[in-house]
Structure 1
């Protein structure tokens, strides 16, 4: 406890409070973002998640009272009391986030656990105090979201989690407190207002969201600083935008990374890889990426190739490239202890590995046997590791898959006292563990960017807040269970809310044996997940789209083709992700906050703002209830118009995933293709669903960073309903990419127009079923569909 407040000093946007037993700092980052900081271990923030933070100009007023200090911005009021108790209110003085006025009081756990444990029952430990704790009052009717990939439902109220990156291949269930990622960030939604808290601490942290006592929630840490950011909305989209302003946003990826991806442990030797590739092409199933797992390496030595399985890596990748496939290879952090192996020798010579407390390189065991761990907390090591990516790039590899980087270890966990250089602030494993994968991803990203001059594709299993700047993620070693398919939806939604716009699961499940029904239902979800990768484990049954029967293959083909059709829409969502930090998969409450019916929907989601997906997530089920929020919605498959703010029942046989399009939507689509680059993307078709609405469509070269220099096109379409016609204004807001579309098609869905005019001149149309299609040049135009 810091004790009584003695005085405070203001320095521009920073307020430094002196208490009897220490110092506390309030810093105004913007009108809606406030940092609360107590320098316990370090005098400065020393953040791994926040880089190059820019303070925004804010309106700041202050007032000293006898028992408190009030700091007021345009959006929030911060009240500071003795013991550095900090409360937050909105501008109307409605409470948002208040410190709890009392001590923790866990509910009583009764009985002797030893007798239960004797039978093998796992019992929960008593809740213990922590070195750093912030306890917040539960005001009532809170909903909590975020925390990255944690198991359980969408709303995290009543859950307890720990942030400690953990490689646990057992079936993930709702009681898991730790998994591969540590994202110490959550969003609170209450009384139609939202705020977020980011606890910027890399030590093991703890979050109890009312599990031990419904009167409060808390977050805590074993060590480090008390350092958290309060991020006010009031909308959820504002909170996500504020959080990603702090920690960074998912950069625009190369378009091929959004195509379908096929992976297995393992596709080797190269003849097996070509067998997979040829099957995709001859079966007319689109695919852009094939992964190589650990068996492509020479004895599991990273940055090597097994020359018996892949005798000429560059010729191998060149042949796949000619077939339209990119190759992504796994790279783990564990470096084989093997004198004469160049990566090991360089690491030893230069002191690049983590050490024990006596300075001796620390050795554990992973796939190659005895292995050492690069110290990614040292900038010299990150540069060295980034340079190693050239080995893979020169072999024709297009992306890197970072795995086992929790870090995983087969001889028990790394001891707490393993030493890391930490860029001039030497520390131990307790502080670096949660950011080990984050720093590895950063080094990998920088290497790929340097040697390709293209947008890097990095996929990582372990990460921390801010890793979204460098890597996409997947949810680790799931199982081929319907329960894991069900769990995937809230897990991915919370990852998106936690800043990770580019995320996915192993489609079909990694461990166990998939079934035709499970793969069919999972690929229907995968079609709408940002990362669309089918991945399965060694010694499980084959899981490729054709591995079961003709019906299952046809369902896979149908939804993979739908994914490619929607690629320009998905690419637009990634443009939004870089601009605003918004996720691709969104919980319904993100856009319908005023509707409490959306707050705990675990089994449906929005794909962007215009498409609602309500997949079947249970075995044997062929119909489901779907909640449609306010407005009108079109059934994607039948064209039926339905009014929202109600539940509808949708029949969904095995080949149907319920999909609904918001009235007024304009959805860009591409023609059929087997892979990105097969055809010239010189034409786009906009599917128009009757209503009032507008849409921004983004176009660039889909692979380089030239768009940052203005080489992109931005189109705007505005749809307005009139009595006798539907009017569409097509305009170009920015023209910087010269190899843009040669023609644009507008498809009015489910309506046969009497006539169509462009700039008041009647033009020829095409009719496909009930759809009316018109073609125009990509220039400012006014299109009228007379109905």
Structure 2
């Protein structure tokens, strides 16, 4: 351990010697002579909270990020004092707290150092605003890599980078630009095959330096608030991500239609244009489940109003779209136009619901409607009122979902692009300035919207989208990566951003397919669709001032390619739905960067392009023009080329052929991939069969299929179908066992097993230990058989 030689250095203050120790159940308190208190809370054997107070006083303990249902409880805790340190030990990790300096070292029980303070906690008085700038510096371990941090538009490995957490409207942002729309102060460290996570739960503007300024030091600091961070021990990366996701929460299951294809533009109007777009989808048989209405549907951009010239009868239009299988999604922004004749404005003013400046007047700022006031969504009364505003839009007119934009919050024509820092907020009874509330403003707006949509769309499930978010926002909302650009570089950025968000506990995410600003050509649009159908949220959205960006806007060749890949997404809906269920149940990211999938393989530590879709599909987008294929890294194991069924052994880079109509796509051997028939929208047809694509493997592999009523809340009462398949393959034999749970009865009666790579010709089939004549199985060559969905064991042998 380094020792402090001075109490103050370059304006920074440091803790000195520990003079008191107290244990209160799961909380340990270490107090220094100069009034610093370190509180260590043992949440789980592998999850600890570190919280520092100065002048012997902690701030009120409150967080918007933490999930009330987070798992807590540990198996072992022991504290021992030596001459030089306190030793805190759980059943997973050991923490040393230095008596002279309060510095912390965390290791596993074998003595491998995981994370270690350099200067440790220090602070500097903020003379302009009061309070402290709080700081922490850690020693960067040998060959350490860093991941996470939300939607950063930079290389997936953050080693050598500095990033800034301050939610900001960044139209047409660039690679490496900071800050962006979201503040997710969580990172994952990896070194010596040990993974850990660190979540700095501080909503003030914060900064992370990953060995950028000093090559052996990683540091993070915030402009105010407490030094308050959570430490998650792996040692495997999935354990870290699951622990963080459990702490900050997961969403409810969305309705299945939300996982279909969505079409948006700024803006589709008038009604005639909306219907033309909808009709074209159906005429061209390109599946689509949702059409979006941007700000032009409103009367003068006033939220919760309709422009009667463009939409004379919105309820009728929404119903007619619904009859054709389209859900209508409408945008709502936070800015409320200053207009005494506008009912929303008047209600908020009468109830004193708007944010105020430090000296009392309402905060005013220009957004789309002109001069606006802004509700204080950190006030629970305001959130409750805001939820009631959705009664007409959702409950009466029939709009099915809401998209919250401009909620960083964005303000036009001011250099900061947002509120002045003296704006006051309620912060759920902990009054503060905008310095503290800024990063969670968008999350609290989305939370209020979620409560309103959920109330008025009931008994169906809610769907909300937000542009701005802080850690924990995933409990209420999905998101997208903001106002990107129609360039090849932005295709690369979108791929990295979505992977990074999934690693940061926020899986329900996508990008504006094709780019929001500027105009893609047909090739770029096709390549972006090929990536976008493998993102959890799949939506085309464009600014509209450069031309059309519908699937048919780039000629028949591109239209056919786009249709092919959207159809593939609809076939994979049961796989995608199961991915979502795994995310909710276990905190498993819906997309896994290769380093998350296999951290032991050091070749994965700097890969950016390839990712695992769910658990068993490998995807690698083509991100350059005029490409007939690309070099990619295939992770260890054996994989089937989806297009050719050729098997390859991973663990190395290889060239993969992928002309304009294909994307490199591989299936893990042993996987059982569920597929539905192609639908033009979810619910168009009754699912009369489930195809199970079986990719033969010598050895064992498990797969899961989750299904329910596709909407509504019966699944919470046990009305779901969870099927777990265990595959075991030998040279002349294949056994598939099924384990079932849940009371939901699926509409299909049979499975169609489609075999890939079967090394023998089927000679005998036994179902639940009874031999079945091949003619009764609808055996098609050596590729498919059809059997009852209720089987327990399928046993196939060859000649």
**TM score, norm. by length of structure 1:** 0.94
| 8 Å contact from structure 2 (residues 120, 136) kept in 1 | no
Aligned match of 1:704 = 712
Deviation, 1:740, is: 4.8
Deviation, 1:361, is: 1.3
| 8 Å contact from structure 2 (residues 297, 307) kept in 1 | yes
Aligned match of 1:390 = 391
| 8 Å contact from structure 2 (residues 764, 771) kept in 1 | no
Aligned match of 1:284 = 285
Deviation, 1:102, is: 8.2
Aligned match of 2:635 = 629
Q: Which runs of 5+ in 2 are unaligned?
A: 1-13, 123-130
1:435 aligns with one of 419, 426, 440: 440
Aligned equivalents of 1:713, 1:754: Cα separation in 2 = 32
Q: Describe the superposition over 1:271-318 as per-residue Cα deviations: whole angstroms up to 9, x where unpaired.
A: 101100001001010000100000000110001111111111111110
Aligned match of 1:99 = 117
Aligned equivalents of 1:766, 1:214: Cα separation in 2 = 65
Aligned match of 1:541 = 547
46-55 or 424-433, larger mean C-alpha shift: 46-55
Aligned equivalents of 1:450, 1:483: Cα separation in 2 = 41
Q: Describe the superposition over 1:454-481 as per-residue Cα deviations: whole angstroms up to 9, x where unpaired.
A: 3211110000000010111100000000
| 8 Å contact from structure 1 (residues 405, 436) kept in 2 | yes
1:21 aligns with one of 21, 34, 53: 34
1:715 aligns with 2:727: no
Instruction: Call closer, same or farther: CA 1:42–1:275 in 2, change over 3 Å.
Output: farther
1:772 aligns with 2:784: yes
Q: How does 1:63-462 map to 2 (within 5 A)?
A: 63-81=80-98, 82-101=100-119, 131-174=133-176, 176-393=177-394, 394-412=396-414, 413-453=418-458, 454-462=460-468
| 8 Å contact from structure 2 (residues 103, 120) kept in 1 | no
Q: Which runs of 5+ in 1 are unaligned?
A: 105-128
Aligned match of 1:110 = none
Instruction: Call closer, same or farther: CA 1:146–1:481 in 2, change over 3 Å.
Output: same
Aligned equivalents of 1:307, 1:102: Cα separation in 2 = 61
1:11 aligns with 2:13: no
Q: Secondary structure in 1 aligned to 2:381?
A: helix
Deviation, 1:651, is: 1.3
| 8 Å contact from structure 1 (residues 45, 227) kept in 2 | no
Q: How does 1:638-717 map to 2 (within 5 A)?
A: 638-691=644-697, 692-717=700-725
Aligned equivalents of 2:135, 2:204: Cα separation in 1 = 13
| 8 Å contact from structure 1 (residues 400, 444) kept in 2 | yes
Aligned match of 1:483 = 489
**TM score, norm. by length of structure 2:** 0.93
| 8 Å contact from structure 1 (residues 731, 779) kept in 2 | no
1:761 aligns with 2:768: no
2:537 aligns with one of 520, 531, 540: 531
2:67 aligns with one of 10, 27, 51: 51
Instruction: Call closer, same or farther: CA 1:701–1:103 in 2, change over 3 Å.
Output: closer
Aligned equivalents of 2:211, 2:664: Cα separation in 1 = 35
| 8 Å contact from structure 1 (residues 251, 577) kept in 2 | no
Aligned match of 1:736 = 743
Aligned equivalents of 2:220, 2:119: Cα separation in 1 = 15
Aligned match of 2:798 = 786
Deviation, 1:729, is: 1.3
| 8 Å contact from structure 1 (residues 460, 473) kept in 2 | yes
Q: Secondary structure in 1 aligned to 2:118?
A: coil
Instruction: Call closer, same or farther: CA 1:769–1:211 in 2, change over 3 Å.
Output: farther
Q: Secondary structure in 1 aligned to 2:670?
A: coil
Instruction: Call closer, same or farther: CA 1:644–1:579 in 2, change over 3 Å.
Output: same
| 8 Å contact from structure 1 (residues 750, 771) kept in 2 | no
Aligned equivalents of 1:134, 1:206: Cα separation in 2 = 11
1:470 aligns with one of 461, 471, 476: 476
Aligned equivalents of 1:439, 1:39: Cα separation in 2 = 27
Aligned match of 2:753 = 746
Q: Describe the superposition over 1:89-144 as per-residue Cα deviations: whole angstroms up to 9, x where unpaired.
A: 1111110000004899xxxxxxxxxxxxxxxxxxxxxxxx9811100001111110
Deviation, 1:246, is: 0.8
Q: Secondary structure in 2 aligned to 1:423?
A: coil
1:513 aligns with one of 516, 519, 535: 519
Aligned equivalents of 1:423, 1:741: Cα separation in 2 = 49
Aligned match of 1:31 = 45
| 8 Å contact from structure 1 (residues 28, 58) kept in 2 | no
Aligned equivalents of 1:667, 1:432: Cα separation in 2 = 44
Aligned equivalents of 1:785, 1:730: Cα separation in 2 = 18
Q: Secondary structure in 2 aligned to 1:564?
A: helix
Aligned equivalents of 1:773, 1:657: Cα separation in 2 = 29
| 8 Å contact from structure 2 (residues 733, 795) kept in 1 | no
**Would you say how many aligned residue pairs link Structure 1 and Structure 2?**
761
Q: Describe the superposition over 1:715-739 as per-residue Cα deviations: whole angstroms up to 9, x where unpaired.
A: 121111123221111231x131135
Aligned equivalents of 1:307, 1:778: Cα separation in 2 = 54
Aligned equivalents of 1:201, 1:543: Cα separation in 2 = 40
Q: Secondary structure in 2 aligned to 1:134?
A: strand
Aligned match of 2:6 = none
618-627 or 392-401, larger mean C-alpha shift: 618-627
| 8 Å contact from structure 2 (residues 638, 669) kept in 1 | yes
